[in-house]
Amino acid sequence: MTVATIARASGICRSRFQIYVPILAVASLLLGNLASAAGTPAGTVIDNIAEVTFDLNGTTATQQSNVASITVEERIDVVVTLQSGQVLVAANDANRSLLFSVTNTGNGSETFSLAIDSILAGDDFDPVPAVPAIYFDTDLSGDFSAGDVAYDPGTNDPNMAADESVDILLVNDIPSTALNGQIGRSELSVAAGTGSGAPGDSFAGQGDGGVDAVLGSSGGLAVQFGEYLVSDVQMSIVKSVLVNDQFGNQDPIPGATLTYTATVEVTTGAATGAAFRDVVPTGTTYSANSILLNGGALSDAVDADLGELDTSGAPTVVVRLGDLSQADGIQTIIFQVTID
Amino acid sequence: MKIFMKFVVLAFAYLCAAMAFAQGSGHLELTTVVQKEQISVDDDGKQQKELVQAATVLPGDSVIYTITFRNVSQESAENVTITNPVPVNLTYESGSAFGPGTVIEFSVDGGKYYSVASELTVTENGEVRAATADDYTHIRWIMQNDLAAGAQGVARFRARLN
């Protein structure tokens, strides 16, 4: 019999268990609510106590085990996604932005540094980063605007909790030499402040609450580019509405007919596959077979002619204008609805 | 004098043993350890898995809990049942519970009701469905035979950190 055996069975030890158990129960409730997509928060201590019940000499007894604990380390991971899709620009445009979303997919809070690179392979021209070139989309407009705060490396590096995201804009000018149809790429790279490198690399004591930080599959670094497409096409669309009620007046009352007239014109360049789409206004009902293109009637059905009423979502008037250039002149689209 | 000292030492040893037996009577010793698999490469470049103590874990890691129970009394213990909650933030790994000579049952309601895996159900939005490993809150091992004095048994399960 060792002294350790005696100690384990001693009353002091047992009473400690009794205190420990209720604390554990409370901690469990709190931690359960904190679990997130990024995983169990870094620094969480998970305790385990087993229990045995048994009958000895006709008496039922219960005994608890020691506490086996594990501590959750911090996993550093980051993801960058492009939100803006391909951005249409013209040569000489200034301050054109690409929108990215940066998400801390690790399980602890982390500070990230941001960098832009607009000299990339695989494109036709190099966008020219504005000064400064990286902004927080502070007003969440999705576009570069006056309210957006510039990123200042080392000063306002975004610190994000697990699962938190921040929208970042890369702002570039389009060179005058960019030609219609050309693509220019610009890239956002995001690196964890604790460090980046090979997945599995560890930073002792650098995680939340002093736990070790370990690089996840991203290696603490995420890179994503976006594209500018030079499109010299400029169009003008003018829409007007005429009210005719059933009493011969121009009052917008239920039953009145609204005649919408839209004029579409390419003012610069040539558009390919142009389509006019206009959602039928809420509170009105589309008047069947009322679409006219340059005076010619188009059926509502999805068929060979250029127009239709698309009812796959909210009823939408669609006129497929196709390839259109300045030489085609003004296209006039008319359709009618009645007020419900 | 030497003999006397020997006697004192011996007497102390007996006392310790007696105390231990006294404490142990009516008791089973129960210890739990948590380990994880570590893949190491031997001199021949061959990979091998070994269990090492898991002090720290990362989300997605698997850990193995091993519960050892020993009858330190001088009587045979009957109806020995080991119970272990699936620790908070961990998910039980299907089919991983192990315990020689035991029937293994699970609970999905915090340990109020237990049943073998195949008969356990969960009611979700009024629909009854078979319980899955994700639903388990507790595991218990029911020994089929008595645990003789001095005998020991083992129960084990594996869980993944959320």
pLDDT digits (tens, 9 = 90+) for A24-33: 333 333 333 3
β-strand pairing of A234-244 with A257-268: antiparallel
Chains A and B: how many Cβ contacts under 8 Å? 142
Cβ separation B55–A211 shorter than 8 A:
no
Q: Which residues in chain A (200-239) have CB-CB distances under 8 A to chain B?
A: 211-212, 214, 216
Alpha-carbon gap, residue A202 to A209, rounded angstroms: 15
**ipTM confidence score:** 0.80
β-strand pairing of A213-215 with A74-76: parallel
- Output the CATH code of domain A234-339: 2.60.40.740
> Could you tell me where the DSSP H helices lie in A10-121?
11-34
DSSP calls for chain B: -HHHHHHHHHHHHHHHHHHHHHHHTT-EEEEEEEEEEEEEE-TTS-EEEEEEE-SEE-TT-EEEEEEEEEE-SSS-BEEEEEEEE--TTEEEPTT--B-TTEEEEEESSSSSS-B-GGG-EEEETTEEEE--GGG--EEEEEESS-B-TT-EEEEEEEEEE-
Cβ separation A66–B32 shorter than 8 A:
yes
What pLDDT does A27 receive? Answer: 36
Q: Where are the domains of chain B?
A: 28-161
Cβ separation B26–A214 shorter than 8 A:
no
What pLDDT does B2 receive? Answer: 52
Alpha-carbon gap, residue B142 to B144, rounded angstroms: 6
More confident: A271 or A129: A129
Percent of chain A residues past pLDDT 70, beyond the cut: 89
What pLDDT does B18 receive? Answer: 41
CATH code 2.60.40.10 region(s) in chain A: 75-230
Cβ separation B84–A46 shorter than 8 A:
no
Q: Which two tokens stand for residue A56?
A: 């000895």
Q: Which two tokens stand for residue A77?
A: 């991971």
- Output the CATH code of domain B28-161: 2.60.40
Which residue on chain B is closest to A75 by alpha carbon?
A: B58
What pLDDT does B6 receive? Answer: 54
- Per DSSP, the three-state class of A33 is helix
- Would you call A128 exposed, middle or buried from its count of C-beta atoms within 10 A (0-12, 13-18, 19+)? middle
pLDDT digits (tens, 9 = 90+) for A127-186: 999 999 999 999 998 999 999 999 999 999 999 999 999 999 999 999 999 998 899 999
Alpha-carbon gap, residue A230 to A181, rounded angstroms: 5
Q: Which two tokens stand for residue B71?
A: 């009858």
**CB atoms closer than 10 angstroms to residue A5:** 17
CB of A107 within 8 Å of a chain B CB? The answer is yes
Nearest Cα to B143, choosing from A57, A65, A55? A55
Residue A210 vs residues A25, A62, B124: alpha-carbon distances, Å = 24, 37, 40
**CB atoms closer than 10 angstroms to residue A237:** 12
Percent of chain A residues past pLDDT 90, beyond the cut: 70
Alpha-carbon gap, residue A192 to A213, rounded angstroms: 11
Q: Which two tokens stand for residue A199?
A: 């997945």
Contacts of A73 in chain B (CB under 8 A): 56-58
Cβ separation B78–A55 shorter than 8 A:
yes
Alpha-carbon gap, residue A151 to A161, rounded angstroms: 19
Kindly provide the residue ranges of all beta strands, DSSP E only, lying in A124-282, ordered along the sequence: 128-136, 149-150, 159-160, 165-173, 183-192, 202-203, 213-215, 221-230, 234-244, 257-268, 270-279
Contacts of A211 in chain B (CB under 8 A): 56
pLDDT digits (tens, 9 = 90+) for A227-242: 999 987 778 888 899 9
What pLDDT does B95 receive? Answer: 94
Mean pLDDT per 10-residue segment, chain B (162 residues): 50 44 61 91 85 91 96 93 96 96 96 94 92 95 95 96 94
Q: Which fold has domain A75-230?
A: Immunoglobulin-like (2.60.40)
| pLDDT band for position A37 (cuts 50, 70, 90) | low
Which residue on chain B is closest to A207 by alpha carbon?
A: B58
Q: In this structure, which amino acid lies at residue A287?
A: S
Cβ separation B26–A56 shorter than 8 A:
yes
